[in-house]
Structure 1
Amino acid sequence: MKDLVAKVRNQNLFATGETVVVAVSGGADSVALLDILTRLDEERLNLIVAHLNHCLRGAESDADEQFVADLAARYQLPFLAIRVDVASLAAADGLSLEDAGRRARYAFFHEVARRRGAGSITVAHHLDDQAETVLIRLLRGAGGAGLSAMAAVGDNLVKRPLLQVSRCELEGYLNNRGLSWRTDSTNADTTILRNSIRHELIPALRKYNPRITERLAATAEILASDEELLDHLTGNAFARLASVEGDGIVFGVGALLQEHRGLRLRLYRRSLREQRGDLMRIALTHLEAIDRLASSSRPNASLKLPGELRVERCYDRLRFTCALPPVAERWEQVIPGEGSHRLPTGATLSVLRVPPPETLATGSKRVTYLSADAAPLPWLARSFTPGDRFTPLGMTGSQKVKELFINEKLPPNERSRVPLILSEGEIVWVAGVRAGEKGRVTAATGAVLRVEILDITP
């Protein structure tokens, strides 16, 4: 038992006295994680237990929530929970239940971290999860970055202290500690890919290597180290070869073609991500098409890629752009009251008066609650203007909106599409990004407005 506590402590993931959000589903892995973190006496962590009820299993989901609430009470820790209709969220966004649930969870955890000033969000992914993730990505098709799977220190505060610990070790730890846990009945459903890999594929692979999960996890760790080096080399090459011209990224074809093919493909990925903010629906075939365009004897040609991305060859110049639907550089619109309001960006702003909610965490950045008294209507919705400042919710000082966009990694060409919502001349919501302090809902708030932005980007 002490070995697992020492294994987590020796990773030095947390600062002394740090506030940490602990994601607890009630399953064995997250119950073990919470218990281990409470035993890090030297770190004196301020732990906050967070649970999202997916509302997928009726009374079973509600029992999971109550179990975690009781667990937090036993440790005398603050407990925050939210209920999200994940099935409806999946249907509305065209996602699988797994993807919709994951998005809702992380949106909630980040909201809790923001409101409580937490420096970390801990999740209980373990060695077996890592092995399963490697196989899922291998089956779907992935390069080194994808096969690196999960990192102990991930993006946006997320930390995974148990990646070196197996599921069997965690259950043994709980049994030795006399701790119980909940079992999700859907974990046995092999129509779900991860469950099929866990219950069918990995047992089959153990016939060839009894330590297959350890080998897959070790492979992911090796690839992660390689990716760190390759990312560094790509960054240096990008700084040397790329230039930003207007709303595009431009390379000189001659210099580009002198680089190794593998580095060129990474530079294309970097350029596309810089333009759109992600690489959704971008596959190897698209990168190879860009490389053929760069190598072509034709001096002028272009490619249209998913997500409004475009690559143009003009003699010795290769230009990457993202052609989002045109939006006026400067726009504004009065929001007179409740209802749905179509904005010049093509997005719709929904404003609805609701009873004070039990929790202000919405599970989505696209939704916020504002006090009708502190942020009275009518409002003004308008585009971002350089120099805009606002006071983010939970803070006392103001911040430049541009800094917020940079922190959120929002590409410059998309910033004019994000509506700023103002009440009495002050920004109360950077729509889909961050709420402002002016519209804060408190226990004394009477009228509450639920505000949602729909289709903020295509």
Structure 2
Amino acid sequence: MKTLVTKVRNQNLFQPGETVVVAVSGGADSVALLDIMTRLECGLRLVVAHLNHCLRGAESDADQAFVASLADNYHLPFVSQSCDVADLARRERLSLEDAGRRARYAFLEQTAEQYGAFSIALAHHQDDQAETVLIRLLRGSGGTGLSAMAGTAGDKLKRPLLQVSRVKLEQYLKQRELSYRTDSTNADTAILRNSIRHELIPLLRRYNPKVSERLAATAEILAGDEELLEGLTQAAYQRLASAEGGQVRFQVEPLMKEPRALRLRLYRRALTELRGDLMRIGLAHLEAIDLLAASPRPNAEATLPGACRVSRCYGSLSLGHAAAQAPPLWEQVVAGEGRYPLPGGGVLLVERLPRPDSLDTGSRWSAFLSPETVPFPWLLRGFRPGDRFTPLGMSGAQKIKDAFINEKVPPQLRRRIPLLLSEGEIAWVPGVRLAERGRVTPRIDAVLRVEILEITP
């Protein structure tokens, strides 16, 4: 059918002369795709790639042999790889379909890199698109999910048959007298996609004979809407988000002025940047982030799948990887000058200096202490409930918890701040204030400069 070849050619998905990896399972769709790709007449250098999922024993091996023979008939290079998809699914706690997809795309990307290919051609067609829309609708999805598969995805993935029905592909194979393999599991309606293909779509055809075509068209319309919305999201993200130190941070006040739908998209974008994907992230997680942002509580946090932490700290909302915490009870002796790594991350620097003209270090994370009133050895330890100190310039004791709150120290950072004690008394609370005990008096000629480096929430 020249019209089918022309239809694929007119999409201009491939540059003349480029190398293209063609994913061929041996089934009808991929066999048709390979044959069409060989007839595009634009000098493509094709590589046939087949992944053996090792799910059907001898049948899977026969599929692999069939595709190898097919590649040989076209005089094309053939690349194959075997993957125990069932074992991968168990190890990664994935469905067989998700595990197979992950293994397949990893193999295709690897093959493309090996051959210097700019494109990977996949055999998804119009009926696959309709099934995908229904699967995502049944599982619960927004516009992003319902736009389903794109004709081009990322830098390499191309789907030339996305506007071609299964019936037309079968007609093409018959006319070209091409044989293909049939996967016996395709008839198993215990698998959701097969159930939709063999039971739900035939039922829906009673209401609209062209239901697959209409679902695919709906996905195409939604994809166009998504492109527009994604542009708006990108502009808002550049305006509202700041990324630093493995975190994405939003200021709550301007964030909450945006429409809820845009806020949820911003959270999706932030999580994608942090994690690389949105696996196991659903609407409930995005809504939990939004509730945290809108909460009247100044400090709160939540943990999301993928070891991702979301925290609200006063006027900012931060998304990042769950940080390693310092041991709940720890102590470290500081015998004198030097550099001391801290259990929860960060470093304490201690050095003896001539007394400077100004005792203002310009940072709450450094201070000058009196070597007379704060003698060595010192003890560093984490905050404990009930800890008190007398802040510099005051006469009464204050709870350190209250000092943290007054200075708006994030809760997750409080657990990692080392308190500096000398002779059993707190002399300095880094990030908050020097204690009266550490006061440097005018008659002192030398001071101890202390500084904490690299403690971040």
Q: TM-score scaled by structure 1? A: 0.69
Q: Is 1:240 paired with 2:218?
A: no
User: Which residue number corresponds to residue 258 of structure 1?
Assistant: 257
Residue 56 of structure 2 corresponds to 57
Q: CA deviation at 1:80?
A: 1.3
The more displaced of 26-35 and 318-327 is 318-327
- Amino acid corresponding to residue 191 of structure 2 in structure 1: I
SS of equivalent to 2:14: coil
- Does 1:83 pair with 2:82? yes
1:176 and 1:326, CA in 2 relative to 1: closer, same or farther beyond 3 A?
farther
Could you tell me which residue of structure 1 aligns to residue 358 of structure 2? none
Cross-structure match for 1:24: 24
Match of 1:309 in 2: 308
Distance across 2 between alignment mates of 1:9 and 1:304: 48
Partner secondary structure for residue 302 of structure 1: strand
Indicate the residue corresponding to 2:181 in structure 1.
182
Q: Secondary structure at the match of 1:198?
A: helix
Does the alignment pair 1:217 with 2:221?
Answer: no
For 2:129 and 2:271, how far apart are their aligned partners in 1? 28
Residue identity opposite 1:202 in structure 2: I
SS in 1 for 2:220: helix
What residue ranges of structure 2 are gaps of 5+ in the alignment?
327-457
Distance 2:117 2:277 in 1: 26
Q: Distance in 1 between matches of 2:139 and 2:316?
A: 34
1:6 equivalenced with 2:6 (yes/no)? yes
Distance in 2 of aligned mates of 1:239 and 1:182: 49
Shift in alpha-carbon separation, 1:89–1:295, aligned structure 2, 3 A = closer
Tell me, in whole angstroms, the C-alpha distance in 2 between the residues paired with 1:156 and 1:103: 17
Residues 258-313 of structure 1: CA deviation (Å, up to 9, x unaligned)? 11111111111112222222222222122222222222222222222222222222
Corresponding position of 1:150: 149
Per-residue CA deviation, residues 193-252 of structure 1 (Å, 9 max, x unaligned), is 100000001011111111110011011101111111111111100111112243322212
| CA 1:39–1:100: 2 relative to 1, 3 Å | same
**SS across alignment from 1:25:** coil
1:270 maps to 269
Tell me, in whole angstroms, the C-alpha distance in 1 between the residues paired with 2:254 and 2:152: 36
Residue by residue, what CA displacement relative to the aligned partner does 1:434-458 show, whole Å, maximum 9, x if unpaired? xxxxxxxxxxxxxxxxxxxxxxxxx
Counterpart residue number, 2:284? 285
Q: Secondary structure at the match of 2:286?
A: helix
* C-alpha distance 289-34 of structure 1, shift in aligned 2 (>3 A): same
Residue in structure 2 matched with residue 111 of structure 1 by the alignment: 110
Q: Per-residue CA shift, 1:356-415, capped at 9, x if unaligned?
A: xxxxxxxxxxxxxxxxxxxxxxxxxxxxxxxxxxxxxxxxxxxxxxxxxxxxxxxxxxxx
Query: What's the counterpart of residue 195 of structure 1?
Result: 194
Give the C-alpha shift of residue 156 in structure 1: 4.5
Q: RMSD between aligned alpha carbons?
A: 1.6
**Letter matched to residue 37 of structure 1:** M
Question: Which stretches in structure 1 are left out of the alignment for 5+ residues?
Answer: 328-458
Amino acid aligned to 1:63: A
Question: Which amino acid is the alignment partner of residue 310 of structure 2?
Answer: V
Compared CA separation, residues 168 and 326, structure 1 to 2 (3 A): farther
Q: 1:291 to 1:97 in 2, by over 3 A?
A: closer
Distance 2:110 2:245 in 1: 35
Which residue is equivalent to 1:36? 36
Which moved further from structure 2: 132-141 or 91-100?
A: 91-100
Structure of greater relative contact order (alpha carbons < 8 Å, 6+ residues apart): 1
User: What letter corresponds to residue 33 of structure 1 in structure 2?
Assistant: L
The alpha-carbon deviation at position 319 of structure 1 amounts to 1.7
Q: If you compute each CA radius of gyration, which structure gives the higher value, 1 or 2? A: 2
Which shifted more, 67-76 or 285-294?
A: 285-294
Secondary structure in 2 matching 1:278: coil
- Equivalent in the alignment of 2:410: none
**Partner SS, residue 307 of structure 1:** coil
Q: Which letter maps to 1:285?
A: A
Change (3 A) 1:86 1:315: closer
Give the ranges of 4+ consecutive aligned residues of structure 1 lying more than 3 Å apart after TM superposition. 324-327
Which residue does 2:383 correspond to in 1?
none
Q: Deviations over 1:328-351 (max 9, x none)?
A: xxxxxxxxxxxxxxxxxxxxxxxx
CA distance in 1, matches of 2:128, 2:81: 25
Instruction: Give the alignment's TM-score, normalised by structure 2.
Output: 0.69
Aligned length: 326
| Farther-moved stretch of structure 1 (258-267 vs 194-203) | 258-267
The residue type equivalent to 2:252 in the other structure is V
Q: What is the distance in 2 between the residues matched to 1:79 and 1:233?
A: 43
User: Which piece of structure 1 moves more, 80-89 or 200-209?
Assistant: 80-89
2:115 maps to a residue whose letter is R
How many Å apart are 1:325 and its aligned residue?
4.3
Amino acid at match of 2:254: A
Q: Deviations over 1:74-117 (max 9, x none)?
A: 11111111222222222232222222222222111111111110
Query: 2: distance between equivalents of 1:53 and 1:70?
Result: 15
The CA distance in 2 between the partners of 1:176 and 1:272, in whole Å, is 48
Distance in 2 (CA, whole Å) between partners of 1:321 and 1:105 is 29
Instruction: Return closer, same or farther for 1:252/1:40 CA change in 2, 3 Å cut-off.
Output: same
Q: Give, in angstroms, the shift of residue 172 of structure 1.
A: 0.1
Tell me the SS of whatever aligns to 1:280.
coil
